[in-house]
Homo-oligomer: A and B are copies of this chain.
C-alpha cells in the first residue's frame, strides 16, 4: 500500500496485498478477513474502495463474503475449467482451415430431432465441414440449424464463424446457452474415409447444443475428431493475469 503515487489503483493494490497473504499461507482457507471497516482504517481508504478490492478476490474465487458474518478465505477449488472451443486447443490458430463439404435442407432424423426438441421430419439446414490442421484432415463436423424463412445462410458465416455466433447471426437471436458433451467412439467408415484413415480407430465425439431464450434449442453441432491427431485442451485462468 502506501504507494499512493503509483499508477496502480488502490483497490488493486489492496487485492494484491491480501492475495499475497493468502498464497503465502499467512491467511489460510476458512480464516476470516478483517472487516471492511477495519481494512479501510488499516489502509487509510474508504469502505467502497475496500469493497472494490475484495470484489476482485471474490471473482477469482479466493474469498467468499457473507452478509452479517464477514469475508473468509475460500477453500481452493479449481474444478471449473474454461474450455475454449473456438481455438480447439491449438496454440497455432493460423494452421487451421476448414472445407465446406455440403449444405442441404433435410428432414430431421429422430436423434437430431430429439436433441433440438422438434418433430422428426421438420426441415433443417444441415452442413458438413472438414477441419484441417496443417492441411491434414482431423475432424468432420455436422451442423444442424432450425430453418428460418428468408434467412439464407452465407457460406462465409459457416466457414469462419464460431458455432454459437453463426447460430446467432442466422436466427437473429442472441444465443444464451451452450452445452457440450464429449464422448469416445469408434470411427465409422464414412468419417474414416474423409479423415483418410481406417475405420474402428478411437475418435472423440463432441456434441454442441446451442440454446436461445427459454432454453429453446437453436442448433446442434456434432464433431467427430481423429483421436490421435486431435486433443481438446482446457485450462483455468491463472490467478496472475
Taking Cβ atoms with an 8 Å cutoff, the residues of A that contact B are 22-23, 25, 29, 48, 59, 75-86, 89, 162-165, 168, 172, 174-186, 201-204, 210-211, 213, 225, 227-228, 230-236, 238-240
Q: Considering residues A79, A89, A204, A213, which has the most beta carbons from chain B within 10 angstroms of its beta carbon?
A: A79
* Chain B residues with CB under 8 A of A185: 184, 202, 227
* Chain B residue at smallest Cβ distance from A211: B238
Cβ-closest chain B residue relative to A163:
B79
Across-interface contacts of A227 in B (CB, < 8 A): 183-185, 202
Please determine whether B182 and A182 come into contact, CB atoms closer than 8 angstroms.
Answer: yes
Q: Which residue from chain B places its CB closest to the CB of A177 in the assembled complex?
A: B238
Nearest CB of chain B from residue A86's CB, rounded to whole Å: 4
Nearest opposing residue in chain B for A226, CB measure: B184
Copy number in the complex reads 2
> Across the interface, which residues of B come within 8 angstroms of A22, CB to CB?
174
Known interface pairs A80-B84, A83-B83, A165-B75; A233-B23 also in contact (CB < 8 Å):
no
Residues of B within 8 A of A211 (CB): 238
- Kindly list chain B residues whose C-beta atoms are within 8 Å of the C-beta of A75: 165
C-alpha spacing A111/B202, complex, angstroms: 21
Residues B235 and A177 in contact, CB atoms below 8 Å apart: yes
B234-A179 in contact (CB<8A): yes
Chain B hits for A180, CB < 8 A: 81, 233-235
Across the interface, do A25 and B172 meet the contact criterion of CB distance under 8 Å?
Answer: yes
> Is the Cβ of B162 less than 8 Å from the Cβ of A79?
yes
Contact of A174 among B23, B79, B181, B225 (CB under 8 A): B23
Contact between chains at B231 and A181 (CB < 8 Å) = yes
> Considering the complex of A and B, which 6 residue pairs feature the smallest CB-CB distances, nearest first?
A184-B227, A79-B86, A78-B164, A184-B202, A178-B236, A182-B232
CA distance A164 to B182 in the complex (A): 22
* Pairwise interchain contact B79-A84, C-beta atoms closer than 8 A: yes
Residues on B with C-beta less than 8 A from A235 are 177-180
Chain B residues in 8 Å Cβ range of A225: 184
> Complex Cα distance A233/B83, Å?
11
Select one of B78, B84, B186, B231 contacting A182, CB under 8 A.
Answer: B231
Instruction: Please tell me if the beta carbons of B176 and A238 are within 8 angstroms of each other in the complex.
Output: yes
Residues A233 and B186 in contact, CB atoms below 8 Å apart: no
- Residues on the B chain within 8 Å of A25, using CB: 172, 174
